[in-house]
């Protein structure tokens, strides 16, 4: 398993991309997951001129880093929104090709599995298949994130979704905390979804009653509450046990920190994850 930081951790801070590259290199990260808005800005700044493009790619290569994934939100709920999503997907794939990325993250709609009608569900799945096929034709994989309020809000709904689509078209971004919200053993959930899992998001919360702090309206608000956001080792999800199972997988895992002092916290988190990785490798030997 390789580890990445998310640029979304710095959505409310003034910090340059190259500062993040230097930080990631110094702390032993393998990659950087680019939030869609940040990917747009980076492409506008460096993607239009050959000299600028070479500079960015050279800095990444010198740091031994790769862009692990582009994370965005492709609309499925309306015809007009989906037409825009198709255009957005094409633009993201252009940026992904420029950066050498083969994964684009999105969500499975805006309605939970118990809120959506069978006909709406079928339309959303059809639209995800269209997006996934477009990505496949350009050598990429569309990853659907496990998330409440979408069609991946339960194990049964997620299994129905992935089984309704071609394996070559889509994969899953296994958000561990949101999988924990299924209300069942996370390790067993991972075992059942493992054939489709190609990425992980890692975050934790102090108390079960605080999971609402990760709702988009709160997370993306500069004035939203951060109370309850804790280190991976300190929250309700038993990451030590889960990572023993997940570390053997050949994929990226991003530390998705939304709280204060991201540089300090990300440094602590990567040290802890590397310790777990080292212990697991020692046991194998």
Above 80 in pLDDT, residue 284? no
Q: What is the pTM of this model?
A: 0.96
Residue spans of alpha helices (H) in the chain: 17-26, 36-46, 50-62, 79-99, 118-137, 155-163, 176-180, 186-193, 216-219, 239-246, 262-284
Q: What percent of the chain has pLDDT over 90?
A: 88
Three-point CA angle 269, 235, 153, nearest 5°? 105
pLDDT classification of 52: cutoffs 50, 70, 90: confident
Above 70 in pLDDT, residue 144? yes
Above 80 in pLDDT, residue 72? yes
CB of 149 closer than 8 Å to CB of 110:
yes
| Separation of alpha carbons 273 and 242, rounded Å | 12
| Separation of alpha carbons 131 and 171, rounded Å | 12
Above 70 in pLDDT, residue 226? yes
User: What crossing angle do the helices spanning 155-163 and 186-193 adopt, rounded to 10°?
Assistant: 10
| Separation of alpha carbons 124 and 261, rounded Å | 38
CB of 204 closer than 8 Å to CB of 231:
yes
Q: How many CA atoms lie within 13 A of 105 on its CB side?
A: 26
Mean pLDDT of 13-21: 94
Mean pLDDT of 42-66: 86
Above 90 in pLDDT, residue 168? no
**Marked catalytic residue, from 27, 38, 91, 147:** 147
147 is annotated as an active-site residue:
yes
Q: What is the dihedral of CA 240, 243, 245, 247, to 10 degrees?
A: -140
pLDDT classification of 55: cutoffs 50, 70, 90: confident
How many other CB atoms are found less than 10 A from the CB of residue 95?
21
| Separation of alpha carbons 269 and 83, rounded Å | 39
Mean pLDDT, all residues of the chain: 95
Residue 206: both structure tokens together? 């102090």
Above 70 in pLDDT, residue 222? yes
pLDDT classification of 49: cutoffs 50, 70, 90: low
Mean pLDDT of 70-98: 96
Q: What is the pLDDT of residue 281?
A: 79
Q: What is the pLDDT of residue 262?
A: 97
Q: What is the pLDDT of residue 254?
A: 98
Distant-in-sequence, close-in-space partners of 207: CB < 8 Å, separation ≥ 6: 228, 236
Mean pLDDT of 242-267: 96
Above 70 in pLDDT, residue 285? no
pLDDT classification of 47: cutoffs 50, 70, 90: confident
Residue 81: both structure tokens together? 């929104």
Above 90 in pLDDT, residue 198? yes
pLDDT classification of 103: cutoffs 50, 70, 90: very high
Above 80 in pLDDT, residue 50? no
Q: What is the pLDDT of residue 196?
A: 97
Above 80 in pLDDT, residue 200? yes
């Amino acid at each position: 398993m390789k580890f990445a930081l998310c640029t979304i951790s710095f959505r409310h801070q003034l910090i340059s991309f190259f500062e993040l590259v230097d930080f990631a290199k110094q702390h032993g990260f393998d990659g950087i997951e680019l939030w869609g808005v940040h990917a747009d800005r980076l492409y506008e700044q460096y993607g239009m001129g050959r000299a600028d493009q070479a500079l960015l790619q050279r800095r990444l290569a010198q740091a031994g880093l790769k862009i692990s994934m582009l994370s965005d939100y492709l609309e499925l709920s309306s015809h007009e929104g989906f037409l825009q999503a198709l255009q957005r997907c094409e633009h993201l794939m252009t940026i992904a090709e420029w950066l050498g990325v083969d994964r684009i993250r999105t969500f499975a709609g805006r309605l939970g599995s118990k809120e959506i009608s069978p006909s709406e569900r079928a339309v959303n799945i059809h639209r995800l298949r269209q997006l996934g096929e477009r990505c496949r034709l350009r050598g990429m994989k569309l990853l659907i994130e496990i998330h409440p309020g979408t069609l991946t809000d339960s194990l049964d709904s997620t299994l129905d979704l992935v089984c309704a689509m071609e394996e070559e078209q889509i994969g899953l971004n296994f958000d561990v905390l949101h999988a924990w919200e299924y209300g069942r053993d996370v390790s067993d959930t991972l075992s059942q979804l493992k054939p489709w899992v190609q990425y992980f998001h890692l975050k934790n919360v102090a108390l079960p009653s605080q999971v609402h702090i990760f709702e988009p309206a709160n997370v993306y608000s500069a004035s939203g509450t951060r109370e309850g956001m804790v280190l991976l080792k300190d929250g309700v999800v038993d990451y030590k046990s889960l990572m023993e199972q997940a570390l053997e997988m050949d994929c990226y895992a991003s530390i998705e920190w939304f709280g204060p002092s991201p540089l300090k916290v990300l440094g602590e988190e990567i040290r802890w994850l590397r310790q777990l990785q080292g212990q697991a490798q020692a046991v194998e030997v």
